[in-house]
Structure 1
């Protein structure tokens, strides 16, 4: 017998749970189906949230033939068979899983069929199509992002499965305690496929236990929290170091630290730890320390590098300890992006302006003939003067007086940097003005 999630696959849009922003009344996919003006599309989002269900429902609602292939594992020959079927019937709806793995040969075969309408492609992917799918395919498809299913959506699907006597578990007349339902919903982590298949295991295995114990099961029976816990597995985080979810998670991690939300930062750190990607965590913490905290608390930057070194030496699970220390300190530290803004401003001038030549007094003099070229002439050695400083020109002529560093003074340390910077800049300008 096929798994419950497969049997409960929707045949019409009304049977799909969630995704009302796409299939609700008056929304775009429902409009396409009702107007019989289907076009190829790409659906993307985490596993188990309805990509296959929507494709199946579209086909069922339009009475088109529905076929399902995998871009990574199925061959071009199988695509040709679907195309032949579409030619005979007029149109076939093809759900192509893992469309981001479509190779060039299959892509070239599909493109004219999409344009002619012989195949209506519904591509499914867990990765951001704007990053992972070729422009040629993207340009011929509408792109729709599916949202994570809510607990209400999941609970509605559970009720359908428990009451449907034809495709679901209605014949068992089973009930769930509120604690068992809550556990099933939460452990599924938004993956309806995993949730329904876990429910089926719980129902069938509990019934068998009752039979083995000599109890009658003709009447309804109840599954409690412990029985549910024994029947489901903790849903592992969907994590792909090259996928869209990875970049979203890293982004949320950095933005939480930047925003000084310690608890959110620890939450995202925990998710990254669960993924096991220590390299990504360490790299991102280094970036955060110097980009977002920077000169407001240089000690925190040093502590972060020390924590990263410790984490790399320890490995998981112990690495979580120094990582947590670093995340908490960075979250609670004063923030400043003055350093990154300064270097980006300097780079902008390099990219967009004529910045001129290095002044002769700064040019290299280690080779014969440098003096004849005027290189190094007029250079003043600062350490020969009181305070180890003397005004002289360092900037190219075309950028004289340019200021890139704009310290914010968000901490005592940065205020001191700001004061020193302003004093030196004023002295430099005054000294050069008097000199010239």
Structure 2
């Protein structure tokens, strides 16, 4: 059975690798490793289809080091023990670990001493951010290198190579320029995705790959969003930052990516967080409208649900922003974590052995704004500070200023005497 095109065309030398000039260009770190015939334990991280595992095998081949592949998901302890036994005959043997972020504790415990003493050279590959996903014990023993998504020009070069290469399509087909551009554009920097599309298009064509044929097998771009991978969180992060920065066009773009991924749950959670965290008291009405828009979108589902969601995003983007509520609750919680204070007795649900005149009076609403509610040691603390970004919060600020000028007291008996019932 013929192996896939992407597998057949895997580079065997650094000069055959497309892209990643920041790592393999003249004078760059991986080029230096090959030139000095020295390799270190390292982790390659980046999007799918960018050549992380390929780079690892190329390095081992270039330096002529014995290597073995190990998958962190499917591999077991017995396989690792066989690798360690083999490494005794090949000191420093390269062990290429795919999905390295998924190594469980047992496998890590087996690997660590061999990486530590240099009996094996670990090269890990992962699509996750190693600062979040890789165990610190593994991470501290490896150098981290980012493998970046390929440019459209890089992908087009790889496609042309595949058409002409003897191990590729060997000039059995041609491709229209526009069809080439579409595959490269849709691949989103993923060379494996591009070569897979090229291969099936070559089979479906009658000697020439046209844009119509490409359209049958690649109707929408490869977004790279996966709920378990960094692409998902990066998109959500860009979505929120775009709304916070009032860039309505960018926010709609990232919303579109999430809609294409059919990820209603993430859209709902992120929009609610954005509404109350970033807009907040700048425009409370927009927060309420956001909830209504999400409810409408969930009721009708996709594709129509995109319309109320777009409405909410535009509304939030162009609204005045205020993070004063978030800052206020964070300040209050910081105080709580610093020290614990007793609630004043007159505020307790059932105060014990307290004279009637010292108790909180539920019928004296004229006194409520003159009572001290914070514990004594916090009585002068101010957690809420208005952000004057909207007319609404300016009104709140004016009211707050008046209220803070009123002296507050914990002597309720004296307060009642000062303000007798008329």
Alignment of 1:302-313 (within 5 A): 302-313=288-299
- Seen in structure 2, the aligned counterparts of structure 1 residues 382 and 231 have a Cα distance that, compared at 3 Å, is closer
Contact 2:371 2:408 in 1 (8 A): no
- Pick from 366, 370, 388: which aligns with 1:391? 370
Q: Give CA deviations for 1:396-426 in whole Å, capped at 9, x if unaligned.
A: 1111221111111211111101111111111
Alignment of 1:36-55 (within 5 A): 36-55=37-56
- Pick from 252, 263, 271: which aligns with 1:285? 271
Q: CA deviation at 1:107?
A: 2.0
Q: Which residue of 2 aligns with 1:324?
A: 310
- Seen in structure 2, the aligned counterparts of structure 1 residues 348 and 31 have a Cα distance that, compared at 3 Å, is same
Q: Which runs of 5+ in 1 are unaligned?
A: 211-221
Please, what TM-score do these two structures have when normalized by structure 2? 0.90
Contact 2:188 2:224 in 1 (8 A): no
Q: Which residue of 2 aligns with 1:132?
A: 133
Q: CA deviation at 1:327?
A: 1.1
Alignment of 1:107-126 (within 5 A): 107-126=108-127
Q: CA deviation at 1:117?
A: 2.5
* Aligned mates of 1:269, 1:377 — CA distance in 2: 59
Please, what TM-score do these two structures have when normalized by structure 1? 0.87
* Aligned mates of 1:376, 1:100 — CA distance in 2: 65
Contact 1:151 1:190 in 2 (8 A): yes
Contact 2:235 2:254 in 1 (8 A): yes
Tell me which moved more, 295-304 or 146-155. Answer: 146-155
Partner secondary structure for residue 329 of structure 2: helix
* Aligned mates of 2:180, 2:186 — CA distance in 1: 10
Q: Which runs of 5+ in 2 are unaligned?
A: none
* Aligned mates of 2:46, 2:331 — CA distance in 1: 37
Q: Which residue of 1 aligns with 2:262?
A: 276
Q: Which residue of 1 aligns with 2:406?
A: 427
Q: Which residue of 2 aligns with 1:333?
A: 319
* Aligned mates of 1:55, 1:93 — CA distance in 2: 9
Q: Which residue of 2 aligns with 1:17?
A: 18
* Aligned mates of 1:188, 1:293 — CA distance in 2: 36
* Aligned mates of 1:139, 1:90 — CA distance in 2: 21
Q: Give CA deviations for 1:107-151 in whole Å, capped at 9, x if unaligned.
A: 222222222333222111112222222222222211222211111
* Aligned mates of 1:377, 1:121 — CA distance in 2: 76
Tell me which moved more, 121-130 or 417-426. Answer: 121-130
Q: CA deviation at 1:236?
A: 4.2
Q: Which residue of 2 aligns with 1:378?
A: 358
2:214 aligned with 1:228, yes or no?
yes
* Aligned mates of 2:410, 2:91 — CA distance in 1: 83
* Aligned mates of 1:430, 1:358 — CA distance in 2: 14
Q: Which residue of 1 aligns with 2:99?
A: 98
2:337 aligned with 1:358, yes or no?
no
Q: Which residue of 1 aligns with 2:379?
A: 400
* Aligned mates of 1:338, 1:106 — CA distance in 2: 47
Alignment of 1:255-274 (within 5 A): 255-274=241-260
Contact 1:188 1:234 in 2 (8 A): no
Q: Give CA deviations for 1:306-365 in whole Å, capped at 9, x if unaligned.
A: 12222333333333222222111111111011111111111111122x463322322222
Contact 1:256 1:265 in 2 (8 A): yes
Q: Give CA deviations for 1:158-203 in whole Å, capped at 9, x if unaligned.
A: 23223323x233343x443221111110122211011112223333
CA RMSD of aligned residues (A): 2.5
* Aligned mates of 1:266, 1:422 — CA distance in 2: 39
Tell me which moved more, 177-186 or 312-321. Answer: 312-321
* Aligned mates of 2:188, 2:409 — CA distance in 1: 65
- Pick from 374, 386, 390: which aligns with 1:411? 390
Instruction: Tell me how many residue pairs correspond in the alignment.
Output: 413
